[in-house]
């Protein structure tokens, strides 16, 4: 297992649209293993392959309190959105220290492949539904801060530039 470097917004590689996994094999399982280790080590609840500069449709999620219920979604696709929406504060491993409210669908149904290449379907609500939508956005080259108002996004970009200047001094 290996910790993978997480791309930081506004890295242009975060804009790349991920391609489908053709075959779920040992190389894909190794990517999933490394992504899960990276997510857990970073105290995240989800990680898309795009965030670690792997442009394949792979997502790992664990919203459990115990951090022992890994959900792996390969080639995920949302097949249904609830008519209801919710607003929830989100953060992102690619945009550290930034949190803001984002409106999402309150429930979703997603189909994906598991680690054996077997298709399954899952209905999710609450934090899991939010996380699925957030991570699938990454696979489409979108970061949650881009859902915010132009004013908020400009403030975030200014804050990130300031943080990058501070880091480069150290």
Binding site for Fe cation: residue ranges? 92, 134, 138
Domain ranges for the chain: 12-168
φ/ψ (deg, to 5) at 52: -115, 25
Q: What is the pLDDT of residue 109?
A: 98
Q: What is the pLDDT of residue 169?
A: 84
Q: What is the pLDDT along the chain (170 residues), one digit of tens a residue?
A: 799 999 999 999 999 999 999 999 999 999 999 999 999 999 999 999 999 999 999 999 999 999 999 999 999 999 999 999 999 999 999 999 999 999 999 999 999 999 999 999 999 999 999 999 999 999 999 999 999 999 999 999 899 889 888 888 87
Q: What is the pLDDT of residue 168?
A: 84
Q: What is the pLDDT of residue 130?
A: 98
CATH number of the domain located at residue range(s) 12-168 in this protein: 3.90.45.10
Burial code (b: 16+ CB inside 10 Å, e: under 16) for 70-93 equals bbbbbbbebeeeeeeebeeebebb
| Residues 20, 26, 32: CA angle, nearest 5 degrees | 65
Positions marked active-site: 135
Q: In whole angstroms, what is the distance from residue 97 CA to residue 156 CA?
A: 10
Q: Do 134 and 99 touch, CB atoms closer than 8 A?
A: no
Give yes or no for a cis peptide into 10 (omega within 30° of 0).
yes
Q: In whole angstroms, what is the distance from residue 119 CA to residue 60 CA?
A: 16
């Amino acid at each position: 297992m290996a910790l993978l470097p997480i791309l930081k917004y506004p890295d242009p590689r975060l804009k790349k649209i991920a391609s489908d996994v053709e075959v779920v094999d040992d190389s894909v399982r190794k990517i999933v293993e490394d992504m899960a280790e990276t997510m857990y080590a970073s105290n995240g609840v989800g990680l898309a392959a795009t965030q670690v500069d792997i442009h394949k449709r792979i997502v790992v999620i664990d919203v459990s309190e115990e951090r022992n219920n890994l959900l792996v979604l390969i080639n995920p696709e949302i097949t249904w959105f609830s008519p209801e929406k919710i607003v929830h504060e989100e953060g992102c491993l690619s945009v550290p220290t930034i949190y803001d409210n984002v409106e999402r669908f309150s429930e979703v149904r997603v189909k994906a492949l598991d680690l054996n290449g077997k298709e399954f379907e899952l209905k999710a609500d609450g934090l899991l539904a939010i996380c699925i939508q957030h991570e699938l956005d990454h696979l489409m080259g979108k970061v949650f801060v881009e859902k915010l108002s132009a004013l908020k996004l400009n403030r975030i970009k200014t804050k990130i530039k300031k943080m990058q200047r501070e880091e480069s001094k150290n």
